[in-house]
Amino acid sequence: MAALALAVLLLFAAGGALSTFEMRSLASSSPVTHRSKARRPRERTRPSLYLCALWFGTIFFYLSVPAMVVISLATGLASST
CA distances from 14 to 28, 46, 51, 54, 55 (A): 21, 11, 11, 10, 12
CA distance 2 to 56: 18
Whole-structure pTM value: 0.49
Asked if residue 23 has pLDDT above 80, the reply is: no
Calculate the average pLDDT of the chain: 78
What is the domain range of residue 19? 2-80
Tell me the mean pLDDT in the region 12-35: 72
pLDDT of residue 57: 83
Asked if residue 4 has pLDDT above 60, the reply is: yes
User: Picking from 5-19, 20-34, 43-57, which range would have the lowest pLDDT averaged per residue?
Assistant: 20-34
Q: How many domains does the chain have?
A: 1
